[in-house]
Amino acid sequence: MEDLPPELHSRFLKVDADGRQHWALRIYPRDNIWNRTALEEFVEELREVDPAVAGKPVEMLESVGRLHTRSAETGLYAVAVIMLVLLFSYLRRGQKLMTVLPPLAAAGFIGYTFFQRTGFVQPWLVVSICLGLTAFIAAALDYRNLRDTVMTLIPAIGGGVVLLGVMGACGFELNPMNLIALPMVFAIGIDNGIYLVRDCRSQIADEVEEYEPSDESLSGAVTTSLTSIAVFGSLLISRHEGLFSMGLLLTIGVSASLLVSLLLMPSLLVLVARHQPASMTPVQVIRVDSVAGSGDEEYEDEDKQAKAA
């Protein structure tokens, strides 16, 4: 023991004042702990021997549990901010401040009141209140802007649903490495939605009878998705399990978002353009004063036409 350097003494051996020795043991797992089931079994067996066991597997298990919870909350905040930004861009100039500022002020006041009474505030509750009030005001002023905001999110949400379905069918699981890829898939899907919805809005403004996706919008969505697939697909040749799973998830997710953008979105936008309500222009009433006592049939016909109009 005296021949060992102090570095090993400080890391693996502790001696109490009464001479009692405490040795640090390193236990390596038999199975692949990237598999959550194997990780849980390994840590459970260790805690049966020593409840205070520490190390990377224990940290990984605890962090993964918190990561799933925090990821759900962070996803809610991200979707709320994205919807507000999209809605703000779709609103007309006179509706922007009227739609966004009152919900922000109301949510801030409610959050401050909760904090003063209870000493803490739930951020997700404040965000939900702000988002609900904004959606209500936008629907009351002109529901078409809120509709287009939801339509923009369809490629991202649809691609995410397809991705989770493929992962469940093939037995893939989320881990701390590939969980980072979900926001990237969501962002690329939103880009595709922006291309198509903007194209539809411009054609409706030009009073096109039947919507047909333009070459520019389709090429923008396809180019963005294919370049992302080529970049993220290069991770599939990695020997690192985490990088491989991240590349696989991104490739499947971006491909699913592209399919939703090309197959589902044009059909939905055709229905939107076909059932587009008339623009909200003020009604103009034209009154034509008839000439009293003239007895002229021409004036009477004009008077009848004006009344009918």
> pLDDT per residue over 242-261, tens digit each?
788 888 889 999 999 999 99
Instruction: Please report which confidence band the pLDDT of residue 283 belongs to, taking 50, 70 and 90 as the band edges.
Output: very low
DSSP designation for 17: T
Phi and psi, residue 191, nearest 5°: -60, -45
Residue with the larger pLDDT of the pair 141 and 250: 250
Q: What is the pLDDT of residue 288?
A: 59
Taking the C-alpha atoms of residue 242 and residue 250, their distance in angstroms, rounded to an integer, is: 12
DSSP designation for 260: I
Amino acid present at 139: A
Q: Average pLDDT, stretch 121-125? A: 81
> pLDDT per residue over 220-250, tens digit each?
889 989 999 999 888 888 888 778 888 888 9
Tell me the residue length of the chain.
Answer: 309
Residue with the larger pLDDT of the pair 178 and 273: 273
- Residue 24 lies inside a defined structural domain of this protein: no
Minimum mean pLDDT range among 22-31, 143-152, 160-169, 282-291: 282-291
Ranges 5-9, 23-27, 301-305, most confident: 23-27
Q: In DSSP terms, which residues pair with 22 in a beta bridge?
A: 14
Mean pLDDT score of the chain, rounded to an integer?
81
What tokens appear for 81 in the block? 């901010």
Residue with the larger pLDDT of the pair 301 and 102: 102
Residue with the larger pLDDT of the pair 85 and 282: 85
Which residues have C-beta within 8 Å of that of residue 271, sequence separation ≥ 6? none
- Residue 32 lies inside a defined structural domain of this protein: no
Return the CATH number at 71. 1.20.1640
Closest to 249 in 3D by CA, of 191, 166, 190, 187: 166
Domain housing 159: 56-274
Minimum mean pLDDT range among 33-37, 83-87, 130-134, 286-290: 286-290
Residue with the larger pLDDT of the pair 66 and 144: 144
DSSP designation for 263: I
Q: What is the pLDDT of residue 258?
A: 92
CA torsion sign, 288 to 294 to 296 to 297? positive
- Residue 251 lies inside a defined structural domain of this protein: yes
- Residue 177 lies inside a defined structural domain of this protein: yes
> pLDDT per residue over 182-200, tens digit each?
888 888 899 999 999 998 8
User: For residues 236 and 244, is the Cβ–Cβ distance under 8 A?
Assistant: yes
Amino acid present at 69: T
Residue with the larger pLDDT of the pair 94 and 280: 94
- Residue 23 lies inside a defined structural domain of this protein: no
Taking the C-alpha atoms of residue 156 and residue 88, their distance in angstroms, rounded to an integer, is: 19
DSSP 133-169: HHHHHHHHHHHHHHHHHHHHHHHHHHHHHHHHHHHHH
Evaluate if residue 307 carries a pLDDT over 70: no
Taking the C-alpha atoms of residue 196 and residue 189, their distance in angstroms, rounded to an integer, is: 11
Domain tally, the chain: 1
Residue with tokens 């194209």: 199
Evaluate if residue 126 carries a pLDDT over 50: yes
Taking the C-alpha atoms of residue 232 and residue 214, their distance in angstroms, rounded to an integer, is: 27
- Residue 289 lies inside a defined structural domain of this protein: no
What tokens appear for 173 in the block? 């699981």
Q: What is the pLDDT of residue 256?
A: 92
Whole-prediction pTM value?
Answer: 0.67
CA torsion sign, 87 to 90 to 93 to 94? negative
Closest to 81 in 3D by CA, of 98, 56, 58, 104: 104
Phi and psi, residue 127, nearest 5°: -65, -40
Q: In DSSP terms, which residues pair with 14 in a beta bridge?
A: 22
- Residue 9 lies inside a defined structural domain of this protein: no
